[in-house]
Amino acid sequence: MSSIAVPAKLLTVVQLIPALHSGGAERSALEIARALVQAGHRSVVISAGGRLVEQLKAEGSEHITLDIGRKSLSTLGHLGALRRLLREIKPDIVHARSRLPAWMGWWALKGMSPRPHFLTTVHGLNSPGRYSAILLRGERVVAVSQTLRDYVLSHYRWLEPGRVKVIPRGIDPQAFPYGHRPDDAWQKAFLAEFPALTGAPLLTLPGRGTRLKGHHDAIELLADLKRRGIEARLLLLGVIEPGREAYVAELQELIRLRGVTSQVVLSPPRDDVRDIYAISALVLQLSNRPESFGRTVVEALSLCRPVLGYAHGGVGELLAELYPAGRVPPGDRERLVERAAELLRVAPPISPLQSYRLGDMQQATLALYDEIAAS
């Protein structure tokens, strides 16, 4: 990761986010918090908490627990507490990363003097409307991909293009080193835990237990490959989560109906995703709706592993730039199985990444903070 330059003026930055469990916005909040601390700034995150809080605090940031992201009228009851906190902290910048926390921050800042600068990041292709528009009220608006910038500018004609800056999310090349191979002990333990994944090329689809992530398409792909006489195994990584039992049961029934029960593993989220990607013949990104970015695409390609994904949204943008051979039209099962068979036979070479690096994202964000604070 690139070193973080020490600025002339030290800032206090408060990030507002619903919670710190998992997900792209949460990881980005942690990564920027870490960069702020490394540069000597004061970093504060306000959220309802979650499993990432301990890491946040261990890396030098402060965390204040306040439920500012629950979609409930009761959340408005925390507005006074948020306003008091901001008055006590006296931040230079308040950076909101989600819609309801952005509304809470916007209201809390009303009447404050001096008023902190208000910055927002748009992480997703949210439905256009008044509720979503709050994320475009920042003095500057960060979009995590060109796809997302184009989207908000097309739906909010009043938004000045000069206020919207693309800062792509990035990954640490040291965490996902080119050509990485896990050691024999890890491979032995992993395959002992999941013996169904032995004996054939592994397809991995990482993603939460939501219909959006394309688990059904991955199962159909495995069955289509089998019908062509191509043996493979499928890992649905991260699909098993609390509250997703009905969805998991639906997937298990589809797996049974397609006759691939012995070739599929469903797992909870894991911390060894780097090693799993590294032993995968293909990493899949089959979201059935366009997404703003595709971190898993960058992670896998950084490791020199082929990615097969739908050519729409941020994923399509990444594949067009980094690995065109992995693009297929969304929902086209025939093209999907044809391309999978081609990549399993001979995958085009993958060059080391020269973009989408974590250090670049951190430096660009801190430079934007400096620019805003100086205005």
Examine the domain organization and report whether 155 and 262 are in the same domain: no
321 within some domain: yes
Question: Could you write out the three-class secondary structure of 131-159?
Answer: HHHHHHCCCEEEECCHHHHHHHHHHCCCC
Cα gap 197→280, rounded to integer Å: 10
Helix (H, G, I), strand (E, B) or coil at 296: helix
Examine the domain organization and report whether 137 and 216 are in the same domain: no
Examine the domain organization and report whether 230 and 340 are in the same domain: yes
Domain of 36, CATH number, reads 3.40.50.2000
Cα pseudo-dihedral 358, 120, 364, 34, rounded to 10: -50
Alpha helices in 134-287 (DSSP H): 146-155, 184-193, 215-227, 245-257, 273-278
Q: Which domain holds residue 204?
A: 184-345
Examine the domain organization and report whether 212 and 314 are in the same domain: yes
Question: What are the b/e assignments for 197-206, b being 16+ CB within 10 Å?
Answer: beeebbbbbb
Examine the domain organization and report whether 119 and 77 are in the same domain: yes
Examine the domain organization and report whether 124 and 247 are in the same domain: no
Cα gap 121→145, rounded to integer Å: 11
Examine the domain organization and report whether 145 and 195 are in the same domain: no
CA 256 to chain centre: 31
151: tokens are 């989207």
Side-chain-facing half-sphere of 176: CA atoms under 13 Å: 27
Domain count, the chain: 2
The CA angle 313-272-69, to the nearest 5 degrees, is: 55
241 within some domain: yes
- pLDDT per residue over 168-210, tens digit each? 999 999 999 999 999 999 999 999 999 999 999 999 999 989 9
Q: From first to last of its 375 residues, what are the pLDDT tens digits of the chain?
A: 455 665 668 999 999 999 998 778 999 999 999 999 999 999 999 999 998 999 999 999 999 999 998 887 778 888 999 999 999 999 999 999 999 999 999 999 998 999 999 999 999 999 999 999 999 999 999 999 999 999 999 999 999 999 999 999 999 999 999 999 999 999 999 999 999 999 999 999 999 899 999 999 999 999 999 999 999 999 999 999 889 999 999 999 999 999 999 999 999 999 899 999 999 999 999 999 999 899 999 999 999 999 999 999 999 999 999 999 999 999 999 999 999 999 999 999 999 999 999 999 999 999 999 999 998
- Give pLDDT, residue 70: 81
